[in-house]
Structure 1
Amino acid sequence: MQKVAITAISVLLGAALIFMMVKVFEGKTIGVNEVGSPKTHTGTITITGVMAGSSQYDKSVIGIMDTKEAECKTGCEKLYIPVKCPGGEQPVIGDEIKASGKFQKLPAGYVFVARKLKVVKHHDIAPQQAPPKS
């Protein structure tokens, strides 16, 4: 009986240790407004943001904005980060995503190449309205 209890405790402790290690190696999740300069992020990071649209030239490239900016309705100066999605189903406008990957330098600038992308939830976002002309 004592061997069974020790084995069960060992299995539970091992599972808890594996879970903690996975969380530690996931790294910190940062928002779009926290990125700053892409060239300062040389390793794998996780970015969270809201899908705002996709490239007319490459549908696997989407633009994400900060989750707080998704609430802005008029007169917003939103910052967008281009994200190259991995294969599979693409998010839709308003989907809040978590993307893990790295920034890659291209001739036109930087793009975040996601190796893993997960839809967290959906936001109802309105298209940005142009400020009134004076």
Structure 2
Amino acid sequence: MQKMIIIAVALVFGVALAVTAGKVGQVKTLTVAEVGTNPQLYTDKITITGVMAGVSPYDKAVIGIMDTKEAQCKNGCQKLFIPVKYPAQAPKVGDEIEATGKFTKYPTGYMFIAEKLKVVKHHDIKAELPAS
């Protein structure tokens, strides 16, 4: 009987350890709306999903992304944009992307520095970045 209890406890412990180990290294995925106006709350590596809305006129490595729901909005849209710096080739306007990286604080605010960027699909949008 005692042997069965030890085996059961070991089995439960093993399953718990396997589930925990499976989550190590996973990066949390958030939307532009979830990050919103509080990027300072996200200091760890994350993945942001959003739709590419335009390229900065000052730095071609910086794109603006908006929430995927905003990409489909026709009236009363918030048009919240998150600046994403990615030195490789920028996606096209309307591309839905997953960008993995971290927020960095600059004197003018926060910018998401992407180390990896993947295009998921394309949306037909007509977006303009707000004037700075």
TM-score range for the pair, normalised by the shorter chain length: 0.7 to 0.9
Compute the displacement of 1:120 (Å). Answer: 0.5
SS at match of 2:40: helix
CA–CA separation in structure 2 for the residues paired with 1:92 and 1:104: 24
What one-letter code is carried by the residue in structure 1 that aligns with 2:42?
H
Q: Kindly provide the CA deviation profile for residues 74-116 of structure 1, in whole angstroms up to 9, marking residues without a partner as x.
A: 342211000001x322101000000000000001100000000
Q: Give the superposition deviation at 1:39.
A: 1.0
Alignment match, 1:34: 34
TM-score (norm 2): 0.75
Q: Which residue of 1 aligns with 2:110?
A: 110
Does 1:84 find its partner at 2:85?
A: yes
Post-superposition Cα deviations, 1:57-87, rounded to whole Å, max 9, x if no partner, equal 00110000000110012342211000001x3
Number of equivalenced pairs: 108
CA contact (8 A) 1:73 1:126 kept: no
Corresponding residue number in structure 1 for 2:47: 46
Greater Cα offset, 107-116 or 75-84:
75-84
TM-score, normalised to structure 1, is 0.74
Judge conservation of contact 2:54–2:127 (CA < 8 Å) in 1: no
How many angstroms apart in 2 are the aligned matches of 1:25 and 1:71? 33
The secondary structure found in structure 2 opposite 1:25 is: coil
1:69 pairs with 2:89: no
User: For the aligned residues, what is the CA RMSD?
Assistant: 1.8
In 2, distance between residues paired with 1:38 and 1:92?
24
- Report deviation, 1:126: 2.4
The aligned residue for residue 7 of structure 1 is none
Instruction: Specify every segment of 5 or more residues in structure 2 that has no aligned partner in the other structure, as ranges.
Output: 1-17
Identity level (%): 63
